[in-house]
Amino acid sequence: MNYNNPNLVFKEIPTGKVGWCSPSNIALVKYWGKTGIQIPANPSISFTLSKSITETIINFSPSKNDRCNLDFYFDGIPNAKFAEKTSEFFKKLVDIFPFIKQLDFSIYTKNTFPHSAGIASSASGMSAIAIALCDIENQFFNTFHTEDEFYQKASYIARLGSGSACRSIYGSIVSWGEIKELDYTSNLWGSRLKFEVNPVFKDYHDSILIVDSGEKKVSSTVGHGLMNNNPFSKSRFIQANNNIKNLLDVLRSGDLEEFVTIVENEALTLHAMMMTSYPSFLLMKPNTISIIENIREFRNSTGIPVSFTLDAGPNIHMLYPHSFKDKVQSFIESSLKVFTQNEVIHDNVGSGPEKLQP
Ligand code: DP6
């Protein structure tokens, strides 16, 4: 599939604005390792979140000098790092959206989760920009025949900005990468699951325990690259495919014991990969381990099927069904909050990006 389209150039260059909010997501089976142009080494599946959201407004006007000039404001303050990252992203997109070269952009973005929270914001940020660019195409060129075409392209574009961002284009539970058992899946974009997911997962909770909100020790790009020389990577990719297959069964059946096993295995394997790479990274903190031990003890003593997962950092995502919300959240308050920087974000599975009326 090639989205290059030389016809997407304005005859009359417009001034306008477009706004979208887009959520973060938490991977159940992790994307870690990639090849070529953002092609994942193995498929992944995530919950789309509901409260951890980036709101993005893109103002555009005719370019003053026939090349795309871009300002980026984060929380109203100019942000040179994000401006550069977004410019790089836009450069990759000029064959797909040639109109980019005709425009200057001022991008205003803010996160609804605390900036310091150490939550991956590239998924929400990049997916919001991707969908907003597709919206500009839709408004001025009228190229999309169906909603599915629109969202598929948005997911393709988001992937080029950040792999995990392609999963944030849809709500609920989203896969990315070719899955043998699901013939509609692709390495190029994320997909909604087209089977009936067990109702228990539709309102699952994710309480994010902020153990350390500092800058990431290793960027995702560097982290993915480490898989090229990791001695365990081959078996990891096989394991990820097996975990995907088993998770698909669990998502149908609602077998929460198996869900816990898969999700925790994925989180710990991700960190094991980082620990066994050259150079190696130890991204968990002592408090991360304390929380994991406490969660496992709580689960064993109460039978409540709460599990943990991790991104490439020290913060814990606690996943549990809605029916255990009160019990789990009071356990967090009484026994786990002390291991955090006094910060817990109670999020849950959400319905995906929404258009803003800027
Ligand atoms: C550990 O999507 O941030 O969160 O494609 O280089 O931008 P890039 O990587 P990114 O990697 C996410 C890694 C992860 C696992 C996951 O979300 O699947």
Q: Which tens digits make up the pLDDT trace of 136-147?
A: 999 999 999 999
Q: What is the rounded distance in angstroms from the CA atom of residue 290 to the CA atom of residue 103? A: 51
CA pair distance 315, 115, nearest whole angstrom = 14
State percent of the chain over pLDDT 90.
92
Nearest atom of ligand 1 to the alpha carbon of 31: 18
Averaged pLDDT, 125-146: 97
Give yes or no for residue 28 CB within 6 A of ligand 1.
Answer: no
CB-based contact 47:247 (threshold 8 Å): no
CATH of domain 205-348: 3.30.70.890
Q: How is the chain split into domains, by residue range?
A: 16-195, 205-348
162 CA distance to ligand 1 middle (Å): 7
Output the CA torsion sign for 116, 118, 119, 120. positive
- pLDDT > 60? residue 318: yes
> Does ligand 1 have an atom closer than 6 angstroms to the CB of 47?
no
| Mean local confidence (pLDDT), 50-71 | 92
pTM, whole model, 2 decimals?
A: 0.97
Is the confidence at residue 310, as pLDDT, over 60?
Answer: yes
Beta strands 103-111 and 70-74 are parallel
pLDDT in tens, 225-257: 999 999 999 999 999 999 999 999 999 999 999
42-61: average pLDDT: 97
CA of 328 to the centre of ligand 1 (A): 28
What pLDDT does residue 66 have?
A: 75
Cα–ligand 1 centroid distance for 66 (angstroms): 34
pLDDT at position 315 is 94
Work out the pLDDT band at 118, boundaries 50, 70, 90.
low
Distance between CA 161 and CA 158 in Å, rounded?
5
Ligand 1: centre distance to CA 300 (Å): 31
123 CA from centroid of ligand 1 (Å) = 8
pLDDT in the model for residue 347: 96
The phi and psi torsions of 243 (rounded to 5 degrees) equal -65, -35
Under the banding of pLDDT at 50, 70 and 90, the label for residue 115 is low
216 pLDDT band, cuts 50/70/90, is: confident
Q: Is the CB of 271 under 6 A from ligand 1?
A: no
Strand 307-310: give its sheet, edge to edge.
Answer: 307-310, 316-320, 205-209, 344-348
The pick from 126, 164, 317 for probing ligand 1's pocket by mutation, whose C-beta has the most ligand atoms within 8 angstroms, reads: 164
109 lines ligand 1 (CB under 6 A): no
Q: What is the pLDDT of residues 85-114, one digit of tens each?
A: 999 999 999 999 999 999 999 999 999 876
Number of Cβ within 10 Å of residue 312's Cβ equals: 21
Domain 16-195 has CATH 3.50.50.60: no
Name the burial class of residue 322, with classes exposed (0-12), middle (13-18) and buried (19+) by CB atoms within 10 angstroms of its CB.
middle
Look at residue 106 in the predicted model and tell me its pLDDT.
Answer: 97
**Residue 158 — φ and ψ, nearest 5°?**
-60, -40
Tell me what the pLDDT averaged over the chain comes to. Answer: 95
